[in-house]
Chain A
Amino acid sequence: MLIFSVFKTLTDQIVTVELKNDLCITGTLKSVDQFLNIRLDKISVVDPEKHPHMMAVKNCFIRGSVVRYVQIPATAVDTQLLEDATRREHASTHKR
């Protein structure tokens, strides 16, 4: 839930999603759901020569389970806020 919330705050930011098949797609984050499925707009493929079949694609829906990484603009996140939120979630989901 915490990571889902973080991604919601990142909507309209430009991110690069790296899939488990090594395909890297950069685009504007339009929406995300609880499974961390991702919708990207205005996409471009980082290595277009390697993936010519993606040339015509302008926007896409990425199933969360095929994602390896998402590169995020560092300026878009407050790291102190993330750490506090993580400690809070840890405290609530793990009984002491």
Chain B
Amino acid sequence: MADLSAQVQEPFDLVRLSLSERVFVKLKGERSLTGVLHAYDGHMNMIMSDVEETILMVEPEESGSTVQTMKRAMEMLFVRGDSVILVSPGAR
């Protein structure tokens, strides 16, 4: 991926280059996923495997608010595209 700009002529090219790679996905509702991308379509519906979901839960308290994270593992997952905000190849 030396010269990315040469390979990426439109945004979906970036996602196509991530097929069978681990990706990071930011979703609505303070959720994020990492998993291996196997399929997607123009709506950004996706099918991923070996998925770890992280949910950020912000709980307001008297002394400011605390953020708790909840993690969940799923072996094969369909994600509906309308929840997707951002997809990044090479999940950290």
Contacts and interface: CB of A to CB of B under 8 A. Distances in A.
Question: Are A and B in contact, CB atoms below 8 Å, in the complex?
Answer: yes
Contacts of B20: 79, 83
A3 B77 contact: no
Given A20-B83, A86-B16, A2 B77 contact: no
Q: How large is the interface on B (under 10, 10 to 19, 20 to 34, 35 or more residues)?
A: 20 to 34
Contacts of B39: 2-3, 6, 82-83, 85-86
Given A6-B47, A94-B12, A70 B38 contact: no
B75 interface: yes
Contact of B78 (A70, A74, A90): A70
Nearest to A64: B80
Given A83-B20, A94-B10, A89 B41 contact: yes
Interface of B: 9-10, 12-13, 16, 19-20, 27, 29, 36, 38-42, 45, 47, 49, 74-80, 82-83
The 9 A-B pairs with the shortest beta carbon distances in the complex, nearest first, are: A70-B78, A74-B76, A82-B39, A74-B75, A82-B38, A72-B76, A79-B38, A86-B39, A83-B19
